[in-house]
Structure 1
Amino acid sequence: MTVTTWKAADVARYVIDNKDLFILDVRNEDAFEDWKIDGHKFEYLNIPYFELLDGVEAILPKIPTDKDVLVVCAKEGSSIMVAEMLSDAGRNVGYLAGGMKLWSTYLEPIKVGDLNGGGELYQFVRLGKGCLSYMAISDGEAAIIDAVRFTEVFTKFAEEKGVEIKHVFDTHLHADHISGGRHIAAATDATYYLPPKDAEEVVFDYTALEDGLTVQLGSSQIEVGALYSPGHTIGSTSFVIDEKYLLTGDILFIDSIGRPDLAGLAEDWVGDLRETLYKRYRELAEDLVVLPAHFMIIEELNEDGTVAKRLGDLFAENHGLNVEDEAVFRKMVTDGLPPQPNAYQEIRQVNMGKITPEDEEQTEMEIGPNRCAVR
């Protein structure tokens, strides 16, 4: 039997297209429990590699023969060996090239919708990390919001679309992943914007992202407007694009709300968070489509793979938007927090420009699930 090499893009299509997949994950149990490849119709078997050194015969009855089987490990080496043993035992299997390390870095661009005058809005879905980045394009120009660190993905996409990147925004100083914003701006001679209240310690030049700032793409009528919305950080800023889409950064998610503690100031910022969610956002049109900077669970993906939902629907369905008692809200936000993101303090230092780790170290810093939300 043959062993098939799967790329991260292949697995992404199985996630987005809701296809069946059986994953044999040969990492240690704690690593698997903390973070795995999520899919709507995925089944899993977690058997640490060291338990299979003497052969795979004992697990063969647990491996289906009527669906695709993918072996996964941290960096691919162990999964290749296990896949070859399964192949020798007469099974058709594949392994994930680059393992979970590469899965963490993959971006899938998906069109969210059309903008006025022939413009388009794209969401870049980082399935292995839960990060969401955006590119609005119109009249030969592009604006990027919350880009992750893989700058070539965005610059190549812009080249393919025949547009020039003119504006690059970060909604806030990120703590769970390394931003590619200022590096994209440097590579394309675009303007890089960052909220000044989040930028007090940065060591690079930037343009202040202030409430009410509006940029226009080309000579079109597509407007990207900034809305100050603190709470996740003190500088957090949302965007309204083309009066259709609300990019909420890490303030509001589809299934939860943003956590206010990643700078160690949960008690100070929880009031800002409630003010944004319960007052500022309530003044906006409910038909705006919410596009967050992260998703937490696979169920937040729509059928086309996008993460998006009407603001009015979230007002009705999102528990974090329906806590009437302020004291209860405060307790929920400050007491019910998940573990801090992996290496979040160091990631903040990178995003301030204070340290510049090698690419391999940046990958290790970002490994693991997204933890920007209140549970």
Structure 2
Amino acid sequence: MTVNVMTSKEVTKKVFNKEELFILDVRNESDFQDWKIEGENFAFLNVPYFDLLDGVKEIIDKLPANKDILVVCAKEGSSIMVAEMLSEAGLTVSYLKGGMKAWSEHLEPVKIGDLQNGGEIYQFVRIGKGCLSYMVVSNGETAIIDSTRMTDIYLDFAKGLDVKITHVFDTHLHADHISGGKIISEKTNATYWLPPKDAEDVTFEYQPLEDGHDVVIGNTKITIQALYSPGHTIGSTSFVIDEKFLLSGDILFIDSIGRPDLAGMAEDWVGDLRESLYKRYRELSEELIVLPAHFMMIDELNDDGSVSEKLGTLYAKNHGLNIDDDNEFRKLVTENLPPQPNAYQEIRQTNMGKMTPDEEKQREMEIGPNRCAVR
């Protein structure tokens, strides 16, 4: 019997298309409970690999006969062995190539829309981690916003479009994932922009990204307008692009709002968060399409796999934008915080240039779910 291989890209397509998939996850129960592959029509069985060393006979009747079955582990090896045992028992199964490590690193580009003067904007969905990054393209030039450490994906995508990367931005100093901004700027000679209030301790050169600053991409004048919006961090900066899109960073998500505590400053920054969401954003057009830097849950994905919503819709539906009482808001964002991201202090240090962990260590630091939002 042959064992099939399924890639992270193929699983992502099943998530986007809302297809059925049965996942047999053979990691330890605590790892599975903390973080797993999610899909609207996915079903799960978690049986640790060590419980299957004597065979798979006891789980055969728990596996469906009429659904695709995917065996998942941390790095691939255990899932291959379990898939082979299931195959020998007569089942048709696949294993996830590269395991959860590969799932954590997969980026799926989705075109968001066209810009007024011939450009376009793409969203890169990091499906296993909930991170969202962006590429704004115009007349042979491109800017990248909130990139992940998997820099080759952006470089190859820009090459495929035959455009030159001229600007790289981070909306804030990230604490849940390692930014690829500095590396992309070094490889392409692009200008690297950071909010100066988040960059006081960085060890490398950058251009200060300040409120009201306009950066033009291409000679068709696609304007990226910086909007200071503190609250998640003291420097958090949003972008209004082409008077059509609002890149909200980690201040505002589709179903929640940003957490203010990842620099240990929740009590100090909660007022900034309220000011940004309830005053600065309120002055913007409700027709702007919000493009956040993260998503929390799989049901925030649109039918094409993208994550976006009109600002006006979020003011109508997002609970975090509808708390009239200041004390109630303060209580919500300081008392409803999920656990802090794994290794978030080390990630911050890395993004400042104070640490240079090797690739395997960077993977370890990022493993786990996205935790940038107030629940």
Please give the alpha-carbon distance, in whole angstroms, between the structure 2 residues aligned to 1:177 and 1:228: 22
Q: Which residue of 1 aligns with 2:360?
A: 360
C-alpha displacement of 1:61: 1.0
Please give the alpha-carbon distance, in whole angstroms, between the structure 2 residues aligned to 1:363 and 1:312: 37
Please give the alpha-carbon distance, in whole angstroms, between the structure 2 residues aligned to 1:207 and 1:152: 23
Question: Which letter maps to 2:42?
Answer: F
In 2, are the aligned partners of 1:116 and 1:221 still within 8 Å (CA)?
Answer: no
Please give the alpha-carbon distance, in whole angstroms, between the structure 1 residues aligned to 2:361 and 2:221: 42
| Aligned pairs for 1:83-162 within 5 A | 83-162=83-162
Please give the alpha-carbon distance, in whole angstroms, between the structure 1 residues aligned to 2:163 and 2:98: 32
C-alpha displacement of 1:58: 1.1
CA deviation vs aligned residue, 1:152-208 (integer Å, no higher than 9, x gap)? 110110000011011100000000000001110111010000000001110000000
Question: Which letter maps to 1:224?
Answer: I
Q: Which residue of 2 aligns with 1:348?
A: 348
- Give the TM-score normalised by structure 1: 0.99
Q: Which residue of 2 aligns with 1:229?
A: 229
Please give the alpha-carbon distance, in whole angstroms, between the structure 1 residues aligned to 2:22 and 2:113: 32
- SS of the residue aligned with 1:235? coil
Q: Which residue of 2 aligns with 1:178?
A: 178
Please give the alpha-carbon distance, in whole angstroms, between the structure 2 residues aligned to 1:128 and 1:346: 21
Q: Does 1:255 align with 2:255?
A: yes
C-alpha displacement of 1:40: 1.2
- Stretches of structure 2 lacking an aligned partner (at least 5 in a row): none
Please give the alpha-carbon distance, in whole angstroms, between the structure 2 residues aligned to 1:237 and 1:158: 24
CA deviation vs aligned residue, 1:96-127 (integer Å, no higher than 9, x gap)? 01110111001000000111122110000000
| Aligned pairs for 1:324-343 within 5 A | 324-343=324-343
User: Which runs of at least 4 in structure 1 moved beyond 6 Å after TM superposition?
Assistant: none
- SS of the residue aligned with 1:165? strand
Please give the alpha-carbon distance, in whole angstroms, between the structure 1 residues aligned to 2:221 and 2:174: 30
Please give the alpha-carbon distance, in whole angstroms, between the structure 1 residues aligned to 2:41 and 2:138: 36
Please give the alpha-carbon distance, in whole angstroms, between the structure 2 residues aligned to 1:77 and 1:153: 25
In 2, are the aligned partners of 1:171 and 1:236 still within 8 Å (CA)?
Answer: yes
Q: Which residue of 2 aligns with 1:63?
A: 63
Please give the alpha-carbon distance, in whole angstroms, between the structure 1 residues aligned to 2:83 and 2:291: 39
Please give the alpha-carbon distance, in whole angstroms, between the structure 1 residues aligned to 2:217 and 2:116: 11
Percentage of matched positions with identical amino acids: 69
CA deviation vs aligned residue, 1:257-300 (integer Å, no higher than 9, x gap)? 00000000000000000000000000000010000000010010
In 2, are the aligned partners of 1:337 and 1:374 still within 8 Å (CA)?
Answer: yes
C-alpha displacement of 1:18: 1.1
Please give the alpha-carbon distance, in whole angstroms, between the structure 1 residues aligned to 2:114 and 2:68: 35
C-alpha displacement of 1:5: 1.1
Please give the alpha-carbon distance, in whole angstroms, between the structure 2 residues aligned to 1:95 and 1:35: 18
C-alpha displacement of 1:2: 2.0
In 1, are the aligned partners of 2:118 and 2:220 still within 8 Å (CA)?
Answer: no
In 1, are the aligned partners of 2:323 and 2:329 still within 8 Å (CA)?
Answer: yes
Range moving further from structure 2, 324-333 or 112-121: 112-121
Question: Which letter maps to 1:44?
Answer: F
Q: Does 1:52 align with 2:47?
A: no
CA deviation vs aligned residue, 1:205-249 (integer Å, no higher than 9, x gap)? 000000011111111031111000000000000001111100000
In 2, are the aligned partners of 1:170 and 1:193 still within 8 Å (CA)?
Answer: yes
Question: Which letter maps to 1:153?
Answer: I
Q: Which residue of 1 aligns with 2:20?
A: 20
Q: Which residue of 1 aligns with 2:81?
A: 81
Q: Which residue of 2 aligns with 1:164?
A: 164
C-alpha displacement of 1:70: 0.2
In 2, are the aligned partners of 1:166 and 1:191 still within 8 Å (CA)?
Answer: yes
Question: Which letter maps to 1:148?
Answer: T
What is the total number of aligned residue pairs between the two structures? 375
Question: Which letter maps to 2:21?
Answer: L
Please give the alpha-carbon distance, in whole angstroms, between the structure 1 residues aligned to 2:64 and 2:339: 35
- Give the TM-score normalised by structure 2: 0.99
Please give the alpha-carbon distance, in whole angstroms, between the structure 1 residues aligned to 2:61 and 2:337: 40
Question: Which letter maps to 1:15?
Answer: V
